[in-house]
Chains A and B, each alone.
Chain A
Amino acid sequence: MTKATQRPSAANRSLPKVPSGIQGLDEITGGGFPRGRPTLICGSAGAGKTLLAMEFLVRGATEYNEPGVFMAFEETAADLTENVCSLGFDLETLVEEKRLVVDHVRVERGEIDETGDYDLEGLFIRLGSAIDAIGAKRVVLDTIESLFSGLQNEGILRAELRRLFRWLKDKGVTAVITAERGEGALTRQGLEEYVSDCVILLDHRVTEQISTRRLRIVKYRGTTHGTNEYPFLIDEDGFSVLPITSLGLQHQVSDERISSGIARLDTMLGGKGFYRGSTILVSGTAGTGKSSLAANFVHAACGRGERCLYFSFEESPGQMIRNMRSIGLDLEPWVKKNLLSIHASRPTFHGLEMHLATIHKLIQKFKPQVVVLDPIGGLIAAGSRRDANTMLIRLIDFLKLGGITAFLTNLTSGGAALESTEVEISSLVDTWLLNRDIELGGERNRAMYVLKSRGMSHSNQLREFLLTDRGFELLDAYVGPEGTLTGSSRLSQEAGAKATTLARQQEASERERGRKRKRDAFEARIIALRTEFEAEGEQAERLATQAVARDKVAENREVMGRRRHADVGKASAGSRKIPRSGNEKLGKARPAATS
């Protein structure tokens, strides 16, 4: 029993506390309710006061070995047992094991008349005997204010209540007193005046037909406590408070990169894909393949052996599996291997807090590495835009703290700017992919680009993609003179471009051939000229040889003349001066030859 109070924080040393055992509440209160003192829980009808009080007792009896007495002023023991049965509390067994006493106190004004002086000793005796019967450490007085409606003498009642709370303190029991919320005051009968150590306010608001529950610690004497309004929910596991607003930005970051499941998309993201533990948002108009992207990512993650939790707010698990099969993704084996869990619920089914709490609970139970929310915009339907925003911030913080990669999709409504998200969480996401459709040439085609991606270099191209039965296919970006083209106009433009290229290639080779021909002709002419030149040279030589021969003949003639003593001197003098150069020889030789 004592172990329950021993908690390390300094606040607890100054004020011993009793753990309530209620999920999240002990975190906010720094250890639980004040030991041996009464705690007041107030709230309007249906706020969950009785359940909170009952869980305090049940947890005390089952987890902290502190038996408890539940004194119900509104419900009978049988009703109460039945009501909390849905929360998994088995009161009957606890009562049998003498760990719990449920006593119903019925005070009906119609049956009661008052005459003269009285006190509430009867109540004291009943409570006292119940406490003594099982050695109770915890006491709940569920809506003790009903006494005010049953008994008229308020003066006596107030004095007796004051005595009751003092008596409870003397008994050393930790009491929880519930009270109805009053107009302009915490409680209708001003009980906070008597029970002032710890006051907790429960609130049940209905905004736009969707209810949210919140809890706030109004006062906790002698201890520090969270002062915010904390959402809480009541489900089959009881009460849980979500003290998540205290999350900050101190999460660990990972350098690990994980594939998006589409190789060419990884290429667009610096070649390696997303960072582990980052938040990825895919936004786009209807039918642009957001869920398909998410399914691809999940498929890849499961393939790596990671656990994925898929929250679908639009499709049932069966429908999703069937639809993804049409693009060549079979998610069913992963579900069977318990690597993938698809949780489908309509956003309007719960309030936001309930969604948040359910998501939390499932995440804690399933321990996934990847969480998909498809689509987040649907959550707005479950609350106001502001609430949805707050909730997503909390959720993203929670996921980041756990190093869980979050994949969110968001539907951009027709009129809105593509770069806007309905819940305005764009600043929270690390990687933002934008899917859009491009209408061109009577067709609607899908394209995507990376709007931002923190901490990595990424492609700036708008890429067309196809959803085929083989999966998600990113196509080559075609950027022509007319801008980015998609679909069949891209195909035709591509074909046109191909033809143009071919023509250009043919023209070029034609020109090349022409040039070659020209060169060939040129070279042929050079050869011809050289041949001619050489031919002329040969002729000249021949002529020169002939001239020499003639000279020789002339010489011979001179010699012969001398022999005959003829006068040929003039002729021989000219011929003896034959120049060495061929041309001169040629030029002069000719007239000589003709002469």
Chain B
Amino acid sequence: MKSSAKRVRRQPLSLQELSKKKAHEQSEAPEVWELRLYVAGQTPRSLAAFANLKRICEEHLSGRYNIEVVDLKEHPQLAAGDQIVAIPTLVRKLPEPLRKIVGDLSNTERALVGLQLRPAKSED
């Protein structure tokens, strides 16, 4: 079932290959970011979230990421797996630990903090 969901929206293969290649080049941070975005239908908010996510990834994780979009309208049974309550929710599967970011990612600063691409200001 999950495999079918993965095929819903997938980044072009070239991007995936590119990320792998980049991972080899950068031995310091070799892992590929596994990201999963849960949406419910093609709502403006979902679309905005997807667009925002893609932009952030391109800027900060160019070639090292993998985005999977799950539409709960089509696969409601998948909501339980990642404990999805709010929509949209972005789940960072890898690297660990698991992180969840809810919202349309319109606040880039907070999204970066949430993804731990940038340390939170309060923690510094």
Contacts and interface: CB of A to CB of B under 8 A. Distances in A.
Interface of A: 103-107, 111-123, 125-126, 128-129, 147, 150-151
Contacts of B103: 114-118
A113 B84 contact: no
Interface stretch (B9-17, B23-31, B58-66, B73-81): B73-81
Given A119-B86, A121-B87, A123-B85, A113 B79 contact: no
A572 to B, nearest CB: 176
Given A113-B99, A113-B101, A106 B83 contact: yes
Given A116-B52, A117-B103, A125-B87, 7 more contacts: A111-B100, A115-B103, A117-B106, A118-B86, A119-B87, A122-B86, A122-B89
Contacts of B22: none
Sort chain B's interface into a size bin.
Answer: 35 or more
Contacts of B77: 129
Top 8 A-B pairs, shortest CB-CB distance: A113-B114, A116-B106, A116-B103, A129-B76, A121-B87, A115-B110, A116-B104, A122-B84
A110 B106 CA distance: 21
Interface in B32-88: 38, 40, 45, 48-49, 52, 72-73, 76-77, 79-80, 83-88
Contacts of A120: 85-87
A73 to B, nearest CB: 9
B5 interface: no
Given A107-B85, A121-B87, A122-B85, A114 B72 contact: no
Contacts of B97: 111
Nearest to A156: B86
A128 B79 CA distance: 11
Contact of B85 (A113, A115, A147): A147
Contacts of A123: 85-86
Nearest to B76: A129
Main secondary structure of the interface of B (DSSP, over half): mixed
B123 to A, nearest CB: 13
Given A103-B80, A115-B103, A115-B105, A125 B113 contact: no
B105 A116 contact: yes
A106 B80 CA distance: 9
B98 interface: yes
B107 A125 contact: no
A122 B87 contact: yes
B94 interface: no
Contacts of A151: 85-86, 102
Contact of A122 (B49, B79, B106, B113): B79
Contact of A113 (B40, B52, B113): B113
28 contacts: A107-B83, A111-B97, A111-B100, A113-B110, A113-B111, A113-B113, A114-B101, A115-B102, A115-B103, A115-B105, A115-B107, A115-B114, A116-B49, A116-B104, A116-B111, A117-B45, A118-B88, A118-B102, A119-B45, A119-B86, A119-B87, A121-B40, A122-B85, A123-B85, A125-B87, A126-B79, A126-B85, A150-B85
Contacts of B88: 118
Contacts of B76: 125-126, 128-129
Contacts of B79: 122, 125-126, 129
Contacts of A117: 45, 103-104, 106
A132 to B, nearest CB: 9
A129 B104 CA distance: 24
Contacts of B102: 112-115, 118, 151
A160 to B, nearest CB: 9
Nearest to B113: A113
A120 to B, nearest CB: 6
A149 to B, nearest CB: 12
B83 to A, nearest CB: 5
Contact of B101 (A106, A112, A147): A112
Contact of A118 (B104, B113, B114): B104
Nearest to B108: A115
A151 to B, nearest CB: 6
- Residue from B48, B52, B83, B105 having most chain A Cβ neighbours under 10 A: B83
Most chain A C-beta atoms within 10 Å of own C-beta, residue among B38, B84, B104, B105? B84
Contacts of B83: 105-107
Contacts of B106: 115-117
Nearest to A122: B84
B65 to A, nearest CB: 17
A121 B72 CA distance: 9
Contacts of A106: 83
B72 A125 contact: yes
A126 B110 contact: no
B56 to A, nearest CB: 10
Contacts of A126: 76, 79-80, 84-85
Contacts of A150: 85
Given A111-B98, A115-B114, A128-B76, A105 B85 contact: yes
A113 B112 CA distance: 10
A121 B83 CA distance: 12
A104 B82 CA distance: 11
Contact of B38 (A104, A111, A114, A122): A122
Contacts of B105: 115-116
A152 B111 CA distance: 15
B107 A118 contact: no
Contact of A112 (B38, B52, B80, B100): B100
A125 B86 contact: no
B63 to A, nearest CB: 23
A123 B86 CA distance: 7
Contacts of B38: 122
Contacts of A112: 100-102
A532 B97 CA distance: 152
Contacts of A122: 38, 40, 72, 79, 84-87, 89
Contacts of B110: 113-116
B50 to A, nearest CB: 12
B120 to A, nearest CB: 9
A311 to B, nearest CB: 49
Nearest to A73: B85
A111 B98 CA distance: 7
A113 B114 CA distance: 5
Most buried by A among B38, B52, B76: B76
A104 B106 CA distance: 29
Contacts of B85: 105, 107, 120, 122-123, 126, 147, 150-151
Residue among A107, A117, A123 facing the most chain B CB atoms (10 A cut-off): A117
